[in-house]
Amino acid sequence: MGTLTTLFLLSIIETLTTYKNILIVVGAGLSVLIPAFVRSKFFSDLVKGIFDGIFIFREKRKNKKVDVVETNNRNITISIADITNHEIFNYLEFWLYTRIPDITLITQYRTVVFRKYVFILFKEYKEVLTTLLMKQEFTHVEKSQLKSILYTTLINIHKSADAQMKISGIPDVIVAKMTLALKDRMHLALDLINSINESAFYDSDNNLLKVYSYLNIIHSILDNILSNIEPVCNSINGELSGLMMDGFIEPPSKHKS
């Protein structure tokens, strides 16, 4: 499967003119499909997460008139309002203030600690992404600059959140194990971001289509963070014994990690 196969698949995508949001995500997946699948068993999960965000957006925007910019794809349009109203912000708000308090794990201590972990990380995502869209530094920049902005934004979110977790007393073992659990997904996300950035398929005025697709990828990362909480929590044995947070003490473990 080489260039001819990829071109054939892309030609099929071009015919799906009534499904602009499907085009947004499929184009990104196709350009890295083969190498990403070989490297990571999580590829199918990532694509599913992106598709979920896209379909929510499609339903909300159906039959709605907006001022848009044209892309190199005749039937794909995107506006700044599509980006600032991206579903990811509702998702973050919902988890920060509604769902995180409902997270329940095997001990009270772990429940408190992992709730705090998710809150710090999701709050950082919300604040940094909001700032990114407010400043709009991604407009009128070349590919190399855009890649740097998108990469740096994602990496710095986690660096800043990790520093805040340390100050908040979240044990290093939790941060380290979550980072390890997310490693493959983060690498794949960076591959997809690079693919979107380099592909003429996503060229548009002010890079709006690329940034919208970037937010779809971030949405899938957030899903992956949540899906790893319980497995990571259950994989930790003796390292947390005797630690305390918010008045809750982790009981002794019968096993050592």
In whole angstroms, how far apart are CA 60 and each of 19, 34, 181, 254? 13, 32, 33, 51
Over residues 194-239, the pLDDT tens digits come to: 999 999 888 888 999 999 999 999 999 999 999 999 999 999 988 9
- Which two structure tokens, joined as six digits, stand for 27? 């184009």
**Residue 256, in any domain of the structure:** no
105 domain-assigned: yes
pLDDT digits over 48-67, tens only? 455 444 444 544 554 444 43
CB 205 within 8 A of CB 69: yes
Domain for residue 180, yes or no? yes
Q: Which long-range contacts (CB under 8 A, 24 or more apart) does 33-36 make?
A: 34/1, 35/191, 36/188, 36/191, 36/192
Asked if residue 133 belongs to a domain, the reply is: yes
The pTM assigned to this predicted structure is: 0.73
Whether 239 maps to a domain, the answer reads yes
How many domains, in total, are found in the chain?
1
Domain presence at residue 37: yes
What domain range includes position 87?
3-249
CB contact at 8 A, 110 and 163 = no
pLDDT, mean over the chain: 79
